[in-house]
Amino acid sequence: MTLADTRSGIAAAFDELSVRLGVPFDSELITSRLGPPLEFELANWLPAADVPAAADLYREIYPELAVPAHTAMAGAYEAVEAVRAGGGRIIVVTGKNVRDATSTVELLGLAVDEIVGSVFGAAKGSALARFGAAAYVGDHVADIEAARAGGAVSVTVATGPYSVGELRDHGADVALANLTEFATWFAGWRAGARLG
């Protein structure tokens, strides 16, 4: 939930999965703790042996029910434009699979350069390093680990499961309330980098 608000779409997909599997999922609880891979969440509700098939079914449901419900987070377009205007590239590195991440970005009309999917936490670091990312923006404490692993500045937004204070306490270099604050931060950061 950094660039896209996926909560209602994810809830719809889990509600449909609940009907198809006959398993009661609490989609409100699930959407309050987004970030980790799908299989981690499913393990809270299903026996381990049932998780792979449930994940496959969820991913089958997702494009039709979830993606159309996604909306851009406040400040997303302005954040992308700020990086672009500053000569930067926008690389989306996400736990979501590439197909669904690409569909979401295209639906929202976000101009990104690359998408790397199906990675979480420090595993995102190799993608960040490969692209030479100077900063990584995320909404989860695992995104702080990702930035560290990739040698990037950790910029966090409190639009996911953590507050600004919690993100700072977990070691974020920058903690913003939301993306509407990003462009101002980015301009100051770039100016400081040029002077330094």
Give tens-digit pLDDT for 100-129.
999 999 999 999 999 999 999 999 999 999
Domains located in the chain, CATH noted: 4-69 (1.10.150.240), 72-195 (3.40.50.1000)
Q: How many degrees, rounded to 5, is the angle at CA 142 between CA 172 and CA 164?
A: 40
pLDDT at 79 over 60: yes
Q: How confident is the model at residue 191 (pLDDT cuts 50, 70, 90)?
A: confident
CA distances from 47 to 7, 24, 40, 51, 165 (A): 24, 13, 12, 7, 35
Q: For the chain, what percent of residues have pLDDT higher than 90?
A: 96
pLDDT at 28 over 90: yes
Return the pLDDT at 192.
80
Which residue matches tokens 């609940």? 18
Return the pLDDT at 110.
97
Q: How confident is the model at residue 175 (pLDDT cuts 50, 70, 90)?
A: very high
pLDDT at 72 over 70: yes
pLDDT at 195 over 70: no
Mean of pLDDT values over 176-184: 97
CB-count burial class (<10 Å; 0-12, 13-18, 19+) for 39: middle
Return the pLDDT at 163.
97
Range with the poorest average pLDDT among 38-42, 62-66, 71-75, 191-195: 191-195
Q: What is the pLDDT of residues 35-63, one digit of tens each?
A: 999 999 999 999 999 999 999 999 999 99
CA 72 to chain centre: 12
CB-count burial class (<10 Å; 0-12, 13-18, 19+) for 29: exposed
Q: Hey, what amino acid is at 25?
A: F
Return the pLDDT at 194.
60
Average pLDDT, the chain: 96
Secondary structure string (H, E, C) spanning the chain: CCCEECHHHHHHHHHHHHHHHCCCCCHHHHHCCCCCCHHHHHCCCCCHHHHHHHHHHHHHHHHHHCHHHCEECCCHHHHHHHHHHCCCCCEEECCCCHHHHHHHHHHHCCCCCEEECCCCHHHHHHHHHHHCCCEEEECCHHHHHHHHHHCCEEEEECCCCCCHHHHHHCCCCEEECCHHHHHHHHHHHHHHHHHC
149 in Cβ contact with 126 (< 8 Å): yes
Residues present in the chain in total:
196
